[in-house]
Every structure is written in C-alpha cells, then in structure tokens.
Amino acid sequence: MILHLHFILLNSEFNQGLAADLYGGEETEDNIKLLWEDEMQVSEPVKDFKIKNNSIYKLVGYYPDDTAFSFDIWDMTIIECKTESGNQLQLAVSKKLLKKTEKVVDENGGDTHLYFYLRDKLPLENPMNGVYILKSDFPKELKKK
C-alpha cells in the first residue's frame, strides 16, 4: 500500500457560521480554515502500520559537535510503519496537539491517507518531517537560541 500522511494546523479563529451564511460554506482570505498542511508519502510501499497512543517517542540525533543525544518525549501518538522491504519508520505527534485524526482508504488505488489535525493554540516544535512536539515538552537542551 502507498501511505500518505497529512499534518494539518487548524485555525481556531475560523468561523464556520460566517462561511456558511455569506460564502456558501467556503473559507475566505479573512476567514481561513487551515493555517498550513504538511503532506508526505512514505517513499516505498508499506506492508503494515499501526498507531500507538499515549506512547513514549525517543527523539535521537546529534549535536553540532557530533555528540549523540537521546530524549524520551511522553504522551505521544506514534505512527509505526514497516515497509515491504523491511525498513521501519516512526512519525509522532504530541497527544495534546491533536484535535482529531482521520483515515481514508482509496478502494480503487489502494492508497491510504492518514490525517492528523493539529490545534493552533498550543505552540509546537517540528524538529524533522513527520514529528510534531508540544513546545513545553521539547527538550530545553535542543531549543534554538
């Protein structure tokens, strides 16, 4: 299966009533529904995926001096993908950032789309594609100066 992931930041100021009354339910320049969307596709066919709620995500990488770091981030929703070639991939979103999720399967093409709708009232960090961490949960040692 081809797996598409959509991370969408909702605009809490969007007024659906105004859109319905004056603009046929559509958003306008002054009444925007979505602030941004990151869309990505897993680069190879996915054999299996699962979504784990209330999990711990391990944020790993290297400081500029090539020293390794590893931080546990709590209360995350983690998407674990296993590709047909055996590669494994993890994407993650802080649980408090999630307003709702949605899964859409295209019966004809076999594509699966996962939508993660994020709240705009809580600041977030996006250290890499497909990882969205509540700013208050992001390791202080990694915050940019």
The helix (H) or strand (E) run that includes residue 21 is helix 16-23
Residue-level pLDDT, tens digit, the chain, 145 residues: 999 999 999 887 766 676 566 666 666 777 677 789 999 999 999 999 999 999 999 999 999 899 999 999 999 999 999 999 999 999 999 999 999 999 999 888 779 999 999 999 999 999 999 999 999 999 998 876 4
Three-state DSSP state, 25: coil
Positive or negative, the CA dihedral 54, 56, 59, 60 is negative
CA neighbor of 128 nearest in space, from 74, 34, 58: 58
Three-state DSSP state, 137: helix
pLDDT at 145: 41
pLDDT at 113: 96
Residues shown for the chain: 145
CA neighbor of 78 nearest in space, from 96, 97, 93: 93
Yes or no: say if 34 and 10 are a contact pair by the CB < 8 Å rule: yes
DSSP 48-100: EEEEEEEEEEEEEEE-TTS-EEEEEEEEEEEEEEEETTS-EEEEEEEGGGEEE
pLDDT at 38: 96
How many domains in the chain? 1
Instruction: Provide the residue range defining the domain that includes 130.
Output: 3-142
